[in-house]
């Protein structure tokens, strides 16, 4: 399973590609950041993010794209930009027919560290260990993108079982 994780942001969009299956060693295929200048027009920044994400999709041809779910508890300005950047990432994937999943920051932290309240350093340390890297990827957005991809790979079996159960339940409902 090859997964592109995207930690969305207007200024820095973390991107990371991980390949693997649950219970086996994971491999990092690429990590980076799509940046846009803070003084550019919003529309032009979204175009730059689209171009960046398209390049990552072209190069790595992932089977899944997973994006951090955005909440609006935080700073208003930042959240709007994050929601807009995430929309572009989801659009690029869906346009190619690649399934998109969303994971909350606490789901991601819990998946890679065992605690939903782990800090950035702990996430970075676990990503480094799980992918057998020499050092934590910098900036943190890049490490978070890899953590998202790992979270997707590890949670996929549970999600598939859930979907199968829902489908089974629905088909029973129809025949009942």
Quickly list DSSP for 10-24.
SSEEEEEEEE--TTS
Q: Angle, to 10 degrees, between the axis of helix 105-113 and the axis of helix 120-130?
A: 50
Catalytic residue among 7, 19, 50, 119: 7
169 binding a second copy? (CB under 8 A): no
Strand (E) positions, the chain? 2-7, 12-19, 27-35, 64-68, 100-103
CB of 57 to a second copy, least distance (A): 13
107 is catalytic: no
Q: Which is nearer to a second copy, 49 or 126 (CB)?
A: 49
Cβ count near 164 (within 10 Å)? 10
Q: Which stretch binds a second copy (CB under 8 A): 31-39, 96-104, 107-115, 146-154?
A: 96-104
84 binding a second copy? (CB under 8 A): yes
Selected from 24, 38, 58, 76, the binder of a second copy by CB under 8 A is 76
* CA–CA dist 136, 142 (Å, integer): 9
For residue 142, how far is the Cα from the chain centroid?
10
Selected from 1, 29, 102, 125, the binder of a second copy by CB under 8 A is 102
Spell out the residues 6+ positions from residue 132 whose beta carbon is closer than 8 angstroms to its own. 25
Q: Which stretch binds a second copy (CB under 8 A): 29-37, 43-51, 108-116, 131-139?
A: 43-51
Q: Which is nearer to a second copy, 66 or 124 (CB)?
A: 66
Region label for 132, one of left (φ > 0), alpha (ψ between -120 and 50) or beta (otherwise): left
Q: Which is nearer to a second copy, 1 or 47 (CB)?
A: 47
* Residue ranges in contact with a second copy by CB under 8 A: 41-44, 46-47, 50, 70-72, 76, 79-80, 83-88, 90-91, 93-95, 99-100, 102
**Which residues carry out catalysis?**
7, 68, 141
């Amino acid at each position: 399973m090859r997964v592109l994780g995207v930690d969305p942001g207007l200024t820095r969009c973390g991107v990371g590609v991980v390949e693997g299956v649950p219970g086996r060693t994971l491999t990092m295929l690429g990590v980076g950041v799509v940046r846009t200048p803070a003084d550019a027009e919003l529309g032009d920044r979204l175009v730059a993010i689209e171009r960046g994400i398209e390049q990552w999709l072209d190069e790595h041809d992932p089977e899944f794209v997973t994006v951090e779910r955005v909440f609006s508890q935080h700073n208003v300005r930042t959240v709007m930009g994050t929601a807009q950047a995430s929309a572009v990432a989801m659009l690029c994937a869906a346009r190619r027919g690649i399934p998109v999943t969303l994971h909350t920051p606490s789901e991601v932290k819990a998946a890679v560290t065992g605690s939903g309240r782990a800090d950035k350093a702990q996430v970075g340390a676990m990503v480094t260990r799980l992918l057998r890297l020499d050092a934590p990827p910098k900036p943190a957005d890049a490490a978070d993108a890899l953590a998202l991809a790992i979270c997707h790979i590890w949670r996929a079996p549970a999600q598939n079982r859930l979907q199968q159960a829902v489908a089974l339940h629905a088909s029973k409902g129809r025949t009942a």
